[in-house]
Structure 1
């Protein structure tokens, strides 16, 4: 990507030779519409993140067969260097062939041929977000993330988001460790989940070193060596930070049921779904993501779960 400079920022244009819609690739990183670290204005993505070089605000704007990337802050060059990986350049559909017996997946692959799995290279950041998301509704997790970043995050460098929206860089590992227990509880994050984040913060450097590995099984083993990290949390981190197209979200309340219902019209548990998608090994998360983009889910018969008004005290199996 060629470099240009604007006052206070650094710009590059990435020309991948294919259509790239940044939000369709990295939209899974957004923690709800109020996420102070991710803003999408209908075309452009604004993302605040922390790099090994420092905080950065990254703006990604698609323009036909190219993406204009602009970054502010100490981590600007690191972030711009990583734009191709962030937008899925390292991901490949090679070996992925939807089976004719799964016409819904065939159609989803036809509709979303430009889907790529992103690689953020931010392992601890992905672990912190996934830890907060464990065993609760998405709305509750998004609320906790938003409140913690608003209080303990760092104002993003540069102009902020569109129309001057205030954006926040997630806390550094040492800052997550200093959040008092009462503030976690105030954000709706009970001790079980906050301990996952705090423990991961003490191992942040080791987590980042998993980026050097190429064996997915070894990456998962190292992630799951942390107390409180199970198959679901490890998969969420691998999807986001490592760009792992096979990191299916097992142990999620809905994913196996959604995927199996989309493929065969029957809701299966994790074991049943694992057998069903075995032919897609190497691309099982790609299957999950394509079906999510297609908007297919199992029927919901009961009322939507309400957000709790107290800190949950029940224990759950590792996610």
Structure 2
């Protein structure tokens, strides 16, 4: 058996209840994400590029406190070493005590909501850039096409259709016409390449505070506050990373908690009392089913950049 097919098995026993599917859900980029699949038996399959190389891993949960991981590939040991962070075992929320009755009830009903961290910056950053200013359907399609074209086969017994995402070295060399064919406009394409060129520096933000990490991310032209928040939520497990500038978020928060829409500035002011858990509050609204946003007009159009 080759090293790439040897399985590394790890078990995490959590102090508080957890739900691994709920924790990892923000990492999935659409239902057809080639880097994330949920099997019929409830297990979660994912791929990643760890510092030591590519990895495929399978997560299963036997009870509310226990998660078992099987990992294959050169990056299996690194993945196993960070498993407790990935499943949210180190997520601390003892000081989260929201006063709004909807948030308080959601927190009571979902004590197993955990915010995990992948410690993989580029794997969060590239999809976030693809999702800038476009419909999610189009961004997910772009991600699928690019991963299929430039990713690599998943090591081990991965389900059909799974791929390992491209490395920063590969992203730097994606031709402009391939971004074009994937319906990615030149602005987003240039931002991805810029980030890939300084990927080593960006990957080190996992050792910084969320504030320092955000500043470093936003020092890259094309990476704004929304993109930085989307990255720190996933790579750092930042419970306070509020996606300011999101097309729907401020309105959703307003309708859900106040019965009226808010703009970004009003949302930031309104959620100030729950700092440093503003992202946690948003996640609770979503997982509890209390997120409300009435539809008053046509949906955001899916723009096709590949025809011109």
TM bucket by the smaller chain? over 0.9
CA distance in 2, matches of 1:76, 1:48: 10
CA deviations over 1:192-246 (Å, ceiling 9, x no partner): 11111110000101011111113x2221111100010100000011001011100
- The residue aligned with 1:11 is 9
Q: How many residues align?
A: 303
- The residue aligned with 1:78 is 78
**C-alpha RMSD over aligned residues:** 1.7
1:48 counterpart SS class:
strand
CA distance in 2, matches of 1:183, 1:285: 34
Do the aligned partners of residues 73 and 181 (structure 1) sit closer, same or farther apart at CA in structure 2, a change above 3 Å counting? same
Between stretches 38-47 and 193-202, larger displacement belongs to 38-47
- The residue aligned with 1:62 is 61
- The residue aligned with 1:119 is 117
Q: Please report how far the alpha carbon of residue 264 of structure 1 lies from its aligned counterpart in structure 2 after TM superposition.
A: 0.9
The correspondence for 1:308, drawn from 278, 281, 303, is 303
Unpaired runs of 5+ in structure 1? Answer: 314-319
What is the correspondence of 1:265-276 to structure 2 with a 5 Å cutoff?
A: 265-276=259-270
2:237 pairs with 1:239:
no
- The residue aligned with 1:251 is 245
Q: Please report how far the alpha carbon of residue 121 of structure 1 lies from its aligned counterpart in structure 2 after TM superposition.
A: 0.3
- The residue aligned with 1:92 is 92
| TM-score (normalised: structure 2) | 0.94
CA distance in 1, matches of 2:297, 2:180: 28
2:99 pairs with 1:104:
no
Do the aligned partners of residues 195 and 31 (structure 1) sit closer, same or farther apart at CA in structure 2, a change above 3 Å counting? same
| TM-score (normalised: structure 1) | 0.91
2:149 pairs with 1:175:
no
The correspondence for 1:279, drawn from 253, 258, 273, is 273
What is the correspondence of 1:90-239 to structure 2 with a 5 Å cutoff?
A: 90-99=90-99, 102-161=100-159, 165-214=160-209, 216-239=210-233
List structure 1 segments (4+ residues) > 4 angstroms apart after TM superposition: none
